[in-house]
Amino acid sequence: MGTGVIGAGWAVRVLARGHDVVAWDPGEGAETRLRSAIERAWPSAADLGLFPDADPDSLRWASSAQEVAASADFVQESAPEVESLKRSLLAEVDAAADPSTPIASSSSGLLPSKLAEPLAHPERLVIGHPFNPVYLLPLVEVVRGEATSDETLAAALEHYDDLVMHPLVVREEIEGYLSDRLQEALWRENLHLVNDGVATTAELDDAIVYGPGLRWAAMGTNLTFHLAGGDGGMRHMLRQFGPALALPWTRLEAPELTPELIEAMAAGCEDQAGPRSIAELERLRDDSLLAVMRALRPSGLGAGRLMAEREARILVAANAQHRQWSPSSKVAAPLDLYSTVVMPDWVDYNGHMTEWAFLTAFGWAADALFRYIGIDEAYRAAGHSYYTVETHLTHLREASVGEPLRITTQVLGSDAKRLHIFHAMYRCDGHRHDHDEHQHHEHDHSERQHDEMLCVGEQMLVHVDTAAGRSAPLAEGPAAAVAAITAAHASMPTPPQAGSRMALLPT
């Protein structure tokens, strides 16, 4: 009931779970707007994952709130945040629904006991406060009122768990609940800083997006500050930084830092940490931060933009060390242009590097080759690039997180438009190579001969005019480089995996 932004988000989440939805809203054109909102959000819900029977058409529009109430196994009210309006609507629902049907309000701060006052069955009302977009964000704060029964609370928790959400029970009935109170404190300070001319809205958003916001995604405020105390954890952190609470850093007054408060904070964080050491938590934090920043990379937002820029600068710097190809260059056979380590988000549930990650690593090796021959940002901006048209991978060994890798590249053949290359990935033997220092340096032969081959990748690339959308000859500079590399690699033996096909051979 109520199909604005929040109500529509609930509808998408429930439909994606494979359940039916009965909806109503008194606004003119509300049904059309809801169906349009579901259509817009469905691709994102599908990316999150759809359950069997998930169908955006499993929606029935009702003619009244009473019809919804009489039809539903679980009622989610999402009317505007006006107490009198919600009380009136909830009373109508309470009168029409079966007494055993739980009713949840999407209120973002109102007290459930006040909302339940006009109900004949106040025991079946609970707060279920979600976060926008509801169809993606898993948090739902569950707040019981004075009359809310244990059965209703249990039913609400079961329902939200069924939707694969994180139902967070707010232990005390308090205005604004938990998350909104934290957000409100930040929001009010934000308004003060803009009002005082201290910062712009963009500067304040950057202050979160590029720093604490990334940490909060995995650990929140308390566990993050627990790590800030080093081996001493939250106790040391409060001893070191506690005096700053008396400084006028914010308009929000801090409580007195009593021994009891310090103990409550420290004990809570130690309970969160469990058996994990500070060092283990730091590793977990770092891995999580890298995963979040890499996830933002394709969108070009926040730290994701800087991740992409860093990757490009690393390759540029490496090329500067190794030098871009020139007519006087001595071409290595094979080329040894790219190295990396197995990233935390590259492994699957078995703890091994997953299939797409091998292709990702080979993709970066191809990018290093492109830069070596003169295909860089400026070349691509001018409207030309290589496109991959076929790739074959052969997996030989497993790789685990943190293991150092190097990739060699052999040119098997080329012409004006096509480039046939062969990558070989090795696990570096001996010690872990630094990613930056290792790139483009010659390996001592005695060290390289012990490197273990993990995977090979064969690729056919076609040079294209990106504006025209068709193949085109290489520009003069890159063409000369490709010809020189092809000639230098012509005497190399063809790898046994090259040109192979997949088949069941006769036994």
What are the tens digits of pLDDT across the range 197-214? 998 888 999 999 899 998
Over the stretch 309-368, which tens digit does the pLDDT of each residue have?
887 777 777 666 657 899 998 999 999 999 888 987 788 888 899 999 999 999 999 999
- Residue 489 pLDDT > 60: yes
Task: Give the mean pLDDT of 271-296.
Answer: 87
Query: Are 31 and 63 spatial neighbours (Cβ–Cβ below 8 Å)?
Result: no
- What is residue 502's predicted lDDT score, i.e. its pLDDT? 86
Query: Are 120 and 140 spatial neighbours (Cβ–Cβ below 8 Å)?
Result: no
- Residue 431 pLDDT > 70: no
Query: How many C-beta atoms surround the C-beta of residue 382 within 10 A?
Result: 11
- Residue 428 pLDDT > 50: yes
- What is residue 35's predicted lDDT score, i.e. its pLDDT? 97
Measured distance CA(407)–CA(353) in Å, rounded: 15
Measured distance CA(93)–CA(104) in Å, rounded: 11
Over the stretch 157-200, which tens digit does the pLDDT of each residue have?
999 999 999 999 999 999 999 999 999 999 989 888 988 899 88
Q: Given the structure tokens 């085109």, which residue do they identify?
A: 472
pLDDT band, residue 449 (cuts 50/70/90): low
- Residue 433 pLDDT > 50: no
- What is residue 377's predicted lDDT score, i.e. its pLDDT? 86
Task: Give the mean pLDDT of 34-39.
Answer: 96
Task: Give the mean pLDDT of 461-483.
Answer: 96
Task: Give the mean pLDDT of 235-239.
Answer: 86
- What is residue 447's predicted lDDT score, i.e. its pLDDT? 52
Going from the N-terminus, what domains does the chain have, and what CATH number goes with each? 5-176 (3.40.50.720), 210-294 (no CATH), 323-489 (3.10.129.10)
HSE (side-chain half, CA atoms, 13 Å) at 369: 29
Average pLDDT, the chain: 90
pLDDT band, residue 222 (cuts 50/70/90): confident
pLDDT band, residue 75 (cuts 50/70/90): very high
Give the CA distances from residue 130 to residues 13, 104, 134, 384, in Å, rounded to whole numbers and listed in that order.
Answer: 11, 11, 6, 47
